[in-house]
Structure 1
Amino acid sequence: MTEYVTTALGDRVAYDRYGDGPGLIFVAGAGPFRAIDPVTTATAELAAEQGLATIVYDRLGRGESEATGRIGLDREFAALRALMDLLGGEAALCGHSSGCSISLAAAANGLPVTALALWEAPIAPVGTVAEWIGEVERRMDAGDFDGALTHYMKDMPPEWLEQAKQNPMYELFAAQVVSYRADGESLVWADSGPQAELFANVRVPTEFLLGEKTFDEMHAAAAAVLATIPGSAKLELPGADHTWDVAPMAAELARFILRAVS
């Protein structure tokens, strides 16, 4: 059953909680929310059976976490902090895609993060992210939500956008592109300078997770960031098309986080 928590900035965040133990919050990337993401919920339920207290929440501006105005990274941090308070004041974060850069930014900015499990983080340093996200935001601010979403997805497999546009919920997906601002801000941050400097304050156990059938770019991104966070590791798990298989992912999250906080 959906529960709600109000952040220090006044936003109301919808979430589901499972189990007891060390805390783990799943941080979605651009797009997903609980109603359309059964994989994350199933993973959270299974990880909870293996000793964790897990939370899956709707990012601000999506699903049941209704929000208006500019939904920036500051509001996402406040949402995470409110959820961490429900778990005893600290938690590990499992980021998916651009949820990884949000999670890294949260740790680098001093949120009480105990560990980072990052699934296919798209943060190889390229120096062009600000230009790309700037155009997404210009279209967003002009009310061209379809154009903003199309531009956000321009370097993704073209069939992903085609499938989204054929979905009966596409109008909703496009309207919720306003929630991508925090994703964009975190991705720009991760590309704004030498990553060794950007991630200097990330000093918690960190694991980069990749699907066995992923894109070459994901391996390059993981390799780049691995070199900047002491003690971080990389692991391949069953998964394809930017998505993990539930059982092995849940088992690895439980193993990694229980060890990280012991």
Structure 2
Amino acid sequence: MSALTTPRGDRIVYDDLGTPGAPTAVFIAGAGPTRADDPITLATGEAFAALGGRALIADRLGRGESISEGPIELTAQLDAIEALARDAEAPVILIGHSSGCAIAMLTASRLPELAGLVLWEAPLGLFEGGAPSWWARVRESIDAGDLEEAVARYMIGMPPEWLEELKKSPDYPGLIHSWIPDGEALAAVEESGYRNALAPVAAPVVALVGTETFPGMIATADALAEAAPDGRSEQLAGAWHSWEPQAMAERLARLAGMAL
């Protein structure tokens, strides 16, 4: 376990796998996961390190050991990811998972040594009425202090068993506070448009979906790839919003120009 303090004074705890100075994969989880309950990302980081790279897997601000009380705003989360990526002092690949894709897109232009941006199953263009309208309803519930309703509104359209599983968490319903950056980022990317959001990203953008995936994900990946200055859309071994760790590690290694 490692830790750093951001310029804002937030403490970020992360796993540091591999060799300092090597091409570095920085993983950005979507809404929900902590390092402790995300074995797929850990296995991916270990596999990437075994191939000669380095992986930084952090608890998002307000989750796990990256403790922060109350609502987490998008700017604080972007600053935390930027601090982690810059601390690598090496070419960095940002990997966004789900709503973490939107956060990764907004962070990418801040990093001078960005080697690539990988977007795994971004849930953009999939909200009825659009992400800005969806997020306004969620934020209304948060601001009113009705956190259970906020979680339910956030999860609209997702498999109902996901919500039932969340309710077992000791952090429910306060966990919604660390989802604020996800909602704000999704709304911001849709509002600005994919092309505007990705225009500052000169590094390759790889929009990925699993070989088994949800409706609309492939169309979104294609649209993101088309909008990026250097984009491509691909399928990778994985199912139902999760990738296969070795396959992802090898794809990251190819993106970083590492010999396999």
Per the normalisation by structure 2, the TM-score is: 0.92
1:155 aligned to which of 154, 157, 175: 157
**Deviation >6 Å, runs of 4+:** none
2:137 aligned to which of 135, 138, 161: 135
- Equivalent residue number for residue 32 of structure 1: 33
- Equivalent residue number for residue 198 of structure 2: 199
Distance 2:202 2:125 in 1: 19
Aligned length: 254
Q: Do 1:27 and 1:93's aligned partners in 2 also have CA atoms closer than 8 Å?
A: yes
Code of the aligned partner of 1:159: E
- Equivalent residue number for residue 123 of structure 2: 122
Q: Do 1:124 and 1:224's aligned partners in 2 also have CA atoms closer than 8 Å?
A: no
Q: 1:177 to 1:70 in 2, by over 3 A?
A: closer
Shift of 1:76: 1.1
Shift of 1:71: 1.3
Shift of 1:47: 0.5
Shift of 1:222: 0.8
Shift of 1:175: 1.5
Between 69-78 and 183-192, the greater mean CA deviation after superposition = 69-78
Q: Do 1:124 and 1:220's aligned partners in 2 also have CA atoms closer than 8 Å?
A: no
Between 62-71 and 208-217, the greater mean CA deviation after superposition = 62-71
Q: Report % sequence identity.
A: 40
Shift of 1:129: 1.2
* Residue 61 (1) aligns with residue 82 (2): no
Distance 1:89 1:145 in 2: 40
Q: 1:159 to 1:125 in 2, by over 3 A?
A: closer
- Equivalent residue number for residue 111 of structure 1: 111
Code of the aligned partner of 2:97: H
Between 89-98 and 48-57, the greater mean CA deviation after superposition = 89-98
Code of the aligned partner of 1:133: W
Between 59-68 and 71-80, the greater mean CA deviation after superposition = 71-80
SS of the residue corresponding to residue 95 of structure 1 reads: strand
Code of the aligned partner of 1:221: T
- Equivalent residue number for residue 78 of structure 2: 77
CA deviations 1:28-68 (Å, max 9, x no partner) are 00001111111111110111111211100000110000112
Code of the aligned partner of 2:149: G
Shift of 1:89: 5.9
Shift of 1:148: 1.2
Code of the aligned partner of 1:174: P
Distance 1:255 1:7 in 2: 30
Q: Do 1:31 and 1:173's aligned partners in 2 also have CA atoms closer than 8 Å?
A: no
Distance 2:133 2:83 in 1: 32
Q: Do 2:108 and 2:201's aligned partners in 1 also have CA atoms closer than 8 Å?
A: yes
Q: Do 1:125 and 1:190's aligned partners in 2 also have CA atoms closer than 8 Å?
A: no
* Residue 144 (1) aligns with residue 146 (2): yes
Distance 2:123 2:16 in 1: 27
Distance 2:115 2:74 in 1: 20
Code of the aligned partner of 1:205: P
* Residue 42 (1) aligns with residue 43 (2): yes
Code of the aligned partner of 1:246: P
- Equivalent residue number for residue 8 of structure 1: 7
Per the normalisation by structure 1, the TM-score is: 0.91
Distance 2:228 2:125 in 1: 14
